[in-house]
Structure 1
């Protein structure tokens, strides 16, 4: 199953491709977008490395990977242009790769949810809207067993999205970082949603 184009009420999610590299570079050029990830904006070379890694992570599990989010309000009916050239502005990067971090399970049935939006699209509910669609895709289409999400304890905005889509808090831990950012000393938090939680949230009967 190839990684599909996904749609929400306000967004079109297009699988990450090499033609999107300049958009990734522009997104990571804003230190406020990265404030809970890196102590500074990232260089073009650093984003090139991340882009290649993201493309590689999209291969092991069919249907999982990374998506570029675009506004869907300006889509041109009948357009033959590539999907992301026929719609509104670039909103951000959405992530649903197989779990792959040092504090994550090595299990192809577990995916990691993430999101990184341009500042001008913060506090509009777009990360929540896109995350709900990615969870639907993970459980209903790909058949994942669990989806996890991680962020800094102090990242109230990201934690709010995790709670809003129905994920539950799992734990707090205190990793060490070579380049810590403010708030690192308060640790990282992990959230999760299982297939059973997803089905229950939709009113489906859960075997048991």
Structure 2
């Protein structure tokens, strides 16, 4: 389980199906991801995600509010089919948009991935018009790489290296008046 000040992230469970289905069937949430899904497609997705964790410790976690335990969305890392690079992705339930949850969840997941999987870099892709997702990528310190075809459509790609990620975290600690951890 991963934790931040406001959130905890854990592997998805069968008991999360109703909340995930509600989110994945919402056309506003799914607008830039894919078509809204029916319940059977959602159940298959949860099984796929669970199996990925067992195989290579990559996949999605549910994002939950610490205080209430409410399901807020999902966040995770997997391999891009086109390049085999690690990609981070996230989606938040509509009623919780614009509260910084996607950025907070993605940041702790980037930390997890860099510490445990040790990739050279992690990428993210989005529809060019998906301004909220692009803002999350930029807040994470990711840099624009290119526009290219991913998932059978043209998307923008951003990326961050471990070195860039760690440098940004040190910078943030200094701005907050905390001593940087140079370990």
Using the size of structure 2 for normalisation, the TM-score is 0.84
1:110-121, aligned counterparts within 5 Å?
Answer: 110-121=85-96
Structure having the larger proportion of residues in strand: 2
Runs of 4+ in 1 over 3 A off after TM superposition: 174-177
* Corresponding residue for residue 54 of structure 1: 49
1:95-114, aligned counterparts within 5 Å?
Answer: 95-97=76-78, 99-101=79-81, 103-105=82-84, 110-114=85-89
Report the Cα distance in structure 2 between the residues aligned to 1:202 and 1:10, rounded to whole angstroms.
18
Report the Cα distance in structure 1 between the residues aligned to 2:42 and 2:107, rounded to whole angstroms.
27
Structure having the larger proportion of residues in helix: 2
Question: 2:124 matched to 1:135?
Answer: no
1:18-57, aligned counterparts within 5 Å?
Answer: 18-39=14-35, 41-57=36-52
**Unpaired runs of at least 5, structure 2:** 171-179
Secondary structure at the aligned position of 2:47 is classed as helix
Q: Give 1:65 deviation, angstroms.
A: 2.1
Q: Indicate how the Cα distance of structure 1 residues 176 and 191 shifts in structure 2: closer, same or farther if over 3 A, else same.
A: closer
**Unpaired runs of at least 5, structure 1:** 75-87, 178-183
* Corresponding residue for residue 133 of structure 2: 158
Q: Which of 93, 100, 103 is matched with 2:74 structurally? A: 93
Is the Cα–Cα contact under 8 Å of residues 148 and 190 in structure 1 kept in the other structure? Answer: yes
* Corresponding residue for residue 10 of structure 2: 14
Is the Cα–Cα contact under 8 Å of residues 59 and 65 in structure 1 kept in the other structure? Answer: no
Q: Give 1:48 deviation, angstroms.
A: 2.0
Secondary structure at the aligned position of 2:28 is classed as coil
* Corresponding residue for residue 68 of structure 1: 62
Q: How many residues align?
A: 173
* Corresponding residue for residue 201 of structure 1: 168
Secondary structure at the aligned position of 1:32 is classed as helix
CA RMSD of aligned residues (A): 2.3
Secondary structure at the aligned position of 2:54 is classed as coil
